[in-house]
């Protein structure tokens, strides 16, 4: 989740082999809705650039931004480029586009933006053209490009998850998913506490505090019960 004082993970699901991305995305959106977290915009990876995914998001009235993936053969010499290849040759701006394939179609805007960077070897400034498909996301191409850049923080979240996740060699998918869930809970606690205690709050401290909290929860004495479990009485 992007936005607010920190980045939190509010959804987790297992992905089956060859499972449709629409089914995975629908489960995650249902989890976010159950948590009552409002969704302003969904920033997805280029793997989600499919008609089925975009139709699902439009049916749920969820704005989205997805990088464009240009597939298919290049046009022959002398034949003008059409479709997404033709839009890629245009200047920066927003262009209405209908993405159709095998009898299915979806309408959205294709945003053409530019990104400048310095070449690692020559040190010269270069420009790269970026294409995004956006729906119900206003703003100029620069604003859409900067909005999508916020998604790149997910790589940092994965790295932090690796630091907090318990290790296991079990081949059981349920066990491995459980450890991932525990790692995400620890990371969420670290993000939340970091907003209060400041940058000195580390992942190691979050793991220790959660471990102590679990131990206290298991050893807590009920208010109406004895401090220790009663010893078994001997019957004759």
Query: Do you know the residue count of the chain?
Result: 236
Low-confidence ranges of the chain (pLDDT < 50): 221, 227-228, 230-231, 233-236
Residue 43, Cβ density class (10 Å: 0-12 exposed, 13-18 middle, ≥19 buried): buried
Q: What letter does residue 17 receive in the DSSP assignment?
A: T
Give residue 215's pLDDT.
Answer: 59
Give residue 213's pLDDT.
Answer: 67
Residue 88, Cβ density class (10 Å: 0-12 exposed, 13-18 middle, ≥19 buried): middle
Give residue 44's pLDDT.
Answer: 96
CA triplet 18, 54, 63: central angle to 5 degrees? 130
Give residue 120's pLDDT.
Answer: 81
Give residue 236's pLDDT.
Answer: 42
What's the rounded Cα separation, in Å, for the pair 55 and 133?
13
Give residue 79's pLDDT.
Answer: 86
Cβ atoms of 106 and 55 closer than 8 Å: yes
* Structure tokens given for 88: 């890629």
The CA-based diameter of the chain, rounded to the nearest angstrom, is 103
């Amino acid at each position: 989740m992007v936005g607010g004082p920190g980045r939190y993970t509010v959804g987790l699901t297992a992905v089956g082999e060859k499972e449709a991305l629409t089914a995975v995305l629908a489960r995650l959106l249902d989890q976010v809705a159950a948590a009552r977290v409002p969704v302003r915009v969904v920033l997805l990876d280029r793997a989600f650039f499919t008609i089925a995914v975009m139709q699902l998001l439009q049916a749920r009235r969820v704005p989205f931004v997805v990088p464009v993936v240009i597939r298919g053969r290049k046009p022959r010499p002398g034949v003008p480029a059409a479709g997404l290849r033709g839009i890629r040759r245009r200047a920066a701006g927003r262009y209405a586009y209908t993405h159709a394939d095998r009898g299915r179609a979806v309408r959205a805007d294709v945003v053409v933006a530019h990104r400048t960077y310095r070449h690692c070897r020559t040190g010269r400034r270069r420009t790269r053209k970026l294409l995004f498909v956006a729906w119900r996301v206003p703003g100029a191409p620069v604003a859409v490009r900067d909005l999508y850049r916020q998604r790149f923080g997910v790589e940092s979240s994965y790295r932090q998850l690796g630091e907090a996740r318990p290790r296991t060699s079990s081949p059981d998918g349920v066990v491995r998913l459980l450890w991932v869930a525990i790692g995400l809970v620890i990371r969420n606690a670290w993000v939340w506490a970091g907003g209060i205690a400041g940058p000195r709050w580390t992942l190691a401290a979050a793991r220790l505090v959660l471990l102590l909290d679990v131990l206290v929860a298991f050893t807590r004495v009920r208010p109406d019960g004895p401090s220790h479990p009663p010893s078994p009485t001997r019957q004759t």
